[in-house]
Structure 1
Amino acid sequence: MFRTLRHRLLAVGSSIAMVLGGPLLATGVSSPAHAAVPETIPLKITNNSGRGEQVYVYNLGTQLSTGRQGWADANGTFHPWPAGGNPPTPAPDAAIPGPAPGQSATIRIPKFSGRIYFSYGRKLVFRLTTGGLVQPAVQNPADPNRDILFNWSEYTLNDSGLWLNSTQVDMFSAPYAVGVQRADGTTASTGRLRPGGYHGFFTALRGQPGGWANLIQTRSDGTVLRALSPLYGLETGALPASVMDDYINRVWRKYTTSTLTVRPFSDRPGTAYHGRVSGDVMHFTDGTGAVVTSFQKPDASSVFGCHKRLDAPNDQVRGPISRTLCAGFNRSTLLVNSEQPDSGTADFYRDAVTNHYARAIHAQMADGKAYAFAFDDVGNHESLVHDGNPRQAYLTLDPFS
């Protein structure tokens, strides 16, 4: 089954949540106002990468009308995955030939919640277990996709429209941008790096002491393939487990004697929760003084993954508070702002102990927007385009510069 990105688990259905999380899935059920959204829309893929290798494209996900997992071909026709096995069996070849350098190609995307993968030079290896699709997991050196240059975008298309985003939650790799043409003919786009941003990101990571350069993976021929997220850096030993301890300890000390106020809903500013630390636990109370949820002191994995001790269920209390805490820890703003979330970016990543991977990504984005960690959408800092009646979607493979 699709390995869940650990973010924003607001889902149309539980099977979809296993594919993606996030604003892509915060779409609710179909809306009659947008029932005119067709069963498929065009996705124009443009290859501005400057690379000469053959590009392969995949459209994998969950069919919203049935909840079945599968893939879509270039015409947008859905194909369910066959039964898998144990050990996993090869998945059908779902590769769509992508455009040549300097060219564009258009495919159709159906009402899916899924991912658009693209790879350079080699097809990706997908396998099926009895539980569904096995995704690439390049933090594992034995993964067959470890030495392939690839990336992916996430999307949901349903009767309420299109949600399409770029993501670096799991890794930073081949650069690309996404866009949507609205019903009025205007176009919105995001995800593009600033000039020099691709090399700028890796330069910043290499220059950051403390193990951050160890996140970078290269091929034996010297090709830079990607940088793993810090969560996977912890899992592989690239980053020390104590990488966030100093900041977490300072936050816990501060809120032992002061109060952290979280207003998680921008449309309901009157809804506030108040956090105070007692021992290793931060308790949050509502306006009546009643404790509504509590958090054990997190570790770096909880912070970078927005999970474990910062788990965020799809509810109206703990989940929203946890998402806000996670964003504050990753951006290192909890010591300078006791009213969360932050209204602006001026204080983001300024502490010496922070998510330097996310810091470097945001610094290199043309519009400053990215999904550099699980809840980067807190405060609307995510790289997402949406339209309720899209004419066309765009995926642009950008230069490696």
Structure 2
Amino acid sequence: MHHKLTRRLTAPTAAAALIAAVIAIQAPSSAKAAVPDTIPLQVTNNSGRGDAVYVYTIGTLLSTGQQGWADANGTFHAWPAGGNPPTPAPDASIAGPAAGRSKTIRIPKFSGRIYFSYGQKLVFKLTTGGLVQPAVQNPSDPNHDILFNWSEYTLNDSGLWLNSTQVDMFSAPYAVGVKGADGNTATTGHLKSGGYNGVLNDLRGKPGGWAGLIQTRSDGTVLRALAPGHGLESGALPASVMDDYVNRVWQKYASSTLTVTPFGDHPDTKYYGKVAGGVMNFTDGSGNVVTTFQKPDADSVFGCHKLLDAPNDRVRGPISRTLCAGFNRSTLLVDPNQPDTSSANFYQDTVTNQYARAIHAQMADGKAYAFAFDDVGNHESLVHDGSPQQADLTLDPSN
């Protein structure tokens, strides 16, 4: 849903690229007149915080491919040229609503993000290659000590796709919604009562480095829990954190077959995985090898990249995203037919993505984007409408 501006955006871009691919497939040409150039976004502040709120709409203008930002009226502003070292970006902030209030702005046909921050404006800079977005896994990032979060969205001629995401971090809670032409609003992203602290306490109680994902400001404020891929980078999680599970998967499918049916609407398209010589080879129904996977490490699993790269094609990408979901949810040993789309089997192994498990357990509707391909089996926190009348962003309390 947004351009890969720096390496730090690899994981969310993977999820976004998938949504973009789905959008392209679903795009009916007759819808063009139905979606205006901008739609209202109502921001409601139910956080209970007294801090000032700042809102940003940042992304790629779909009509031109330009990167930039939108003001409160939805008017697009292209970023000026950046520098090396990076130069400060123009102030794209919009004053958000006070606690207990709502404010309506407009958002344009973007593929991008809606950021919000508490107490301080975010620091955005521009390089010669474009915008540098916050990278909180970097302790020296100027936004490290700011409480903030973001939603991802695409608004195009076919409608609105709006999600809540924890692909990079779990932080200041919020929910997203869209009101359709029928007047009904679909909503996702709300935590259960006590769910914010529930996730944090769950991670604190897990041995092996999971508590090290939590970052706290010097005044004691919990800022976020980093996604486990970033925890590997920072050293909070050991590089071997998934090895035991991966080794067991490789052992199992050396003597049995993993069947992947990647497209729910094409149940006859199946691929068959078998480990030989240390690699998992996938064959089609005729026995031809269509793609091969090296044994993945934890970084490949958590990021759904590197050894589990998922190109936007019809073979390797769909198989890889299915594998990635199976590794994160630890369903590959209990079900040789993937994807396993029923959450009953998810996160049951002692070796699993404990971050994703904790977040899903505390979501009111069970849905989240806790890793890039959390949409396998439709477990992602996404709302969509082909004729959106209004988008909603609700800032929730951190309790």
TM range (shorter): over 0.9
Instruction: Give the equivalent residue in structure 1 for 2:398.
Output: 400
Q: Could you tell me which of 13, 24, 28 is aligned with 1:28?
A: 24
Structure 1 CA distance for aligned equivalents of residues 188 and 306 of structure 2 = 31
Would the alpha carbon gap of residues 7 and 275 (structure 1) be closer, same or farther in structure 2, given more than 3 Å must change? Answer: farther
Instruction: Give the equivalent residue in structure 1 for 2:340.
Output: 342
**Offset of 1:8 from its aligned partner?**
7.0
Would the alpha carbon gap of residues 330 and 310 (structure 1) be closer, same or farther in structure 2, given more than 3 Å must change? Answer: same
Structure 1 CA distance for aligned equivalents of residues 29 and 324 of structure 2 = 35
**Offset of 1:135 from its aligned partner?**
0.5
Is the 1:9–1:313 contact (alpha carbons within 8 Å) kept by the matching residues of 2?
A: no
Q: Could you tell me which of 11, 29, 36 is aligned with 1:6?
A: 11
Structure 1 CA distance for aligned equivalents of residues 40 and 115 of structure 2 = 16
Instruction: Give the equivalent residue in structure 2 for 1:381.
Output: 379
Structure 1 CA distance for aligned equivalents of residues 362 and 71 of structure 2 = 34
Is the 1:85–1:128 contact (alpha carbons within 8 Å) kept by the matching residues of 2?
A: yes
Structure 2 CA distance for aligned equivalents of residues 236 and 279 of structure 1 = 33
Q: Secondary structure at the match of 2:345?
A: coil
**Offset of 1:289 from its aligned partner?**
0.3
**Offset of 1:34 from its aligned partner?**
1.1
Is the 1:24–1:163 contact (alpha carbons within 8 Å) kept by the matching residues of 2?
A: no
Instruction: Give the structure with the larger helix fraction.
Output: 2
Is the 1:54–1:120 contact (alpha carbons within 8 Å) kept by the matching residues of 2?
A: yes
Is the 2:12–2:168 contact (alpha carbons within 8 Å) kept by the matching residues of 1?
A: no
**Offset of 1:31 from its aligned partner?**
3.2
Q: Secondary structure at the match of 1:214?
A: helix
Paired residues for 1:302-321 under 5 Å: 302-321=300-319
**Offset of 1:9 from its aligned partner?**
4.6
Pairs aligned (count): 392
Q: Could you tell me which of 349, 357, 360 is aligned with 1:359?
A: 357
Paired residues for 1:248-287 under 5 Å: 248-287=246-285
In structure 2, the gaps of 5 or more residues are none
Q: Secondary structure at the match of 2:201?
A: helix
Structure 2 CA distance for aligned equivalents of residues 259 and 7 of structure 1 = 31
Q: Secondary structure at the match of 1:195?
A: coil
Q: Secondary structure at the match of 2:266?
A: coil
**Offset of 1:5 from its aligned partner?**
4.2
Structure 1 CA distance for aligned equivalents of residues 302 and 29 of structure 2 = 38
**Offset of 1:23 from its aligned partner?**
1.7
Would the alpha carbon gap of residues 9 and 28 (structure 1) be closer, same or farther in structure 2, given more than 3 Å must change? Answer: farther
Deviations 1:36-89 (A, max 9, x none): 200000000000000000000000000000000000000000000000000000
Q: Secondary structure at the match of 1:4?
A: helix
Q: Could you tell me which of 95, 98, 107 is aligned with 1:97?
A: 95
Structure 2 CA distance for aligned equivalents of residues 115 and 5 of structure 1 = 15
Would the alpha carbon gap of residues 8 and 378 (structure 1) be closer, same or farther in structure 2, given more than 3 Å must change? Answer: farther
Structure 1 CA distance for aligned equivalents of residues 267 and 47 of structure 2 = 44
Would the alpha carbon gap of residues 191 and 384 (structure 1) be closer, same or farther in structure 2, given more than 3 Å must change? Answer: same
Instruction: Give the equivalent residue in structure 2 for 1:229.
Output: 227
Deviations 1:207-260 (A, max 9, x none): 001000000000011100000000000011000000000000000000000000
TM-score normalised per structure 1? 0.96
Paired residues for 1:62-77 under 5 Å: 62-77=60-75
**Structure 1 counterpart of 2:270, which letter?**
A
Instruction: Give the equivalent residue in structure 2 for 1:15.
Output: none
Is the 2:179–2:388 contact (alpha carbons within 8 Å) kept by the matching residues of 1?
A: yes
Q: Secondary structure at the match of 2:63?
A: coil
Structure 1 CA distance for aligned equivalents of residues 49 and 157 of structure 2 = 37
Q: Could you tell me which of 143, 153, 156 is aligned with 1:155?
A: 153
Q: Secondary structure at the match of 1:23?
A: helix
**Offset of 1:343 from its aligned partner?**
3.0
Is the 2:310–2:321 contact (alpha carbons within 8 Å) kept by the matching residues of 1?
A: yes
**Offset of 1:97 from its aligned partner?**
0.3
Structure 1 CA distance for aligned equivalents of residues 330 and 205 of structure 2 = 20
Is the 2:11–2:168 contact (alpha carbons within 8 Å) kept by the matching residues of 1?
A: no
Deviations 1:169-210 (A, max 9, x none): 000000000000010111100011011100100000000010
Is the 1:24–1:164 contact (alpha carbons within 8 Å) kept by the matching residues of 2?
A: no
Deviations 1:348-383 (A, max 9, x none): 000000000000000000000000001000010000
Q: Could you tell me which of 331, 355, 378 is aligned with 1:333?
A: 331
Structure 2 CA distance for aligned equivalents of residues 374 and 27 of structure 1 = 17
- C-alpha RMSD of the superposition: 1.2
Structure 1 CA distance for aligned equivalents of residues 10 and 385 of structure 2 = 23
Structure 2 CA distance for aligned equivalents of residues 367 and 58 of structure 1 = 27
Q: Secondary structure at the match of 2:275?
A: strand
Is the 1:370–1:383 contact (alpha carbons within 8 Å) kept by the matching residues of 2?
A: yes
**Offset of 1:90 from its aligned partner?**
0.1
**Offset of 1:33 from its aligned partner?**
2.0
Structure 2 CA distance for aligned equivalents of residues 369 and 99 of structure 1 = 27
Is the 1:8–1:375 contact (alpha carbons within 8 Å) kept by the matching residues of 2?
A: no
